[in-house]
Amino acid sequence: MPCVGTTELQRSAMRSGVEKAVLTLALVAFFIAGYFFIGHATDSSRARELTTPLDRWIPFVPASIWVYLWMLPAALIPLFAVRCQDLFRRTYLAYAIAIAISLACFAAFPVTSLRLRVDPAALDVTRFAPWAVATLYALDPPYNLFPSLHLSIATLAAFSAWKADRRYGAATFAGVALVAVSICTVKQHFLLDGIAGMALAALTYAVVLRPYRPAAGVRPGSSWRGIVAYLVMIVLAYTGLYVAFRFRS
């Protein structure tokens, strides 16, 4: 039998993949440019602290850095869990809105974690977790805090996963609950930052994601292969961190 040519379904899948890649790269560029420009341009004399009695009570837990860092791959969950292109577009629109609102807040209402953070000199960087915390402190400007974009994006990823498949959503929301704790135990955010981040995510969800309804016969969630690919990415990401730690200068 002659080889079967590329079908319309395959071409559609290829177009969807290209669109997902372009949207992801554009959003990452928007986030990085805005986040670090504002973070490094912030006048420290304008920055406030949002310390509450609970912030003083919450302990510093270096190992929670691994949950904290999960937010970065968590933001990519829609790439692996969402099959419906309409839902994917809505998710990235929600991301873009949350990022834009957060950047405006960072510029207008700077909040600093300089005194909240643990003294980097007190961290034993010969150990993996303290090294990761020290690296985070060195790379992340101590200003862009309110609302917590870290938590709002992770929460929107969970909402998107829930819309795609409730099993994926439930698992992601469990991870978000741990992220909510980790932003405080890493001493990177105040409690009020996290509350504001979740409120922003809930509002953005209500406007952009909640109205989504899959078309008749459309399965919005990806198959198990997408989830396996996501788990492989997680393993590779954390393995890369460990390699960087082992071969640090």
Q: Is residue 140 part of a domain?
A: no
Q: Is residue 164 part of a domain?
A: yes
Structure tokens at 160: 């998107």
The string of pLDDT tens digits covering residues 74-90 is 999 999 999 999 999 99
When the pLDDT of each residue in the chain is averaged and rounded to a whole number, the result is: 93
Q: Does residue 1 surpass a pLDDT of 70?
A: no
Q: Hey, how many other C-beta atoms are within 10 angstroms of the C-beta on 3?
A: 4
Q: pLDDT band for 160, please (50, 70, 90 cuts).
A: very high
Mean pLDDT of 137-145: 95
Q: Is residue 29 part of a domain?
A: no
Domain count across the chain: 1
The string of pLDDT tens digits covering residues 37-96 is 999 999 999 999 999 999 999 999 999 999 999 999 999 999 999 999 999 999 999 999
**What is the C-alpha to C-alpha distance for residues 183 and 178, in angstroms, rounded to an integer?**
9
Q: Is residue 40 part of a domain?
A: no
Alpha-helical runs (H) found in the chain: 8-41, 53-57, 65-69, 71-74, 77-81, 85-108, 128-139, 149-164, 166-185, 191-204, 224-246
Q: Is residue 123 part of a domain?
A: no
Mean pLDDT of 99-104: 98
Q: Is residue 23 part of a domain?
A: no
Q: Which domain holds residue 244?
A: 64-117+150-215+225-249
Q: Is residue 35 part of a domain?
A: no
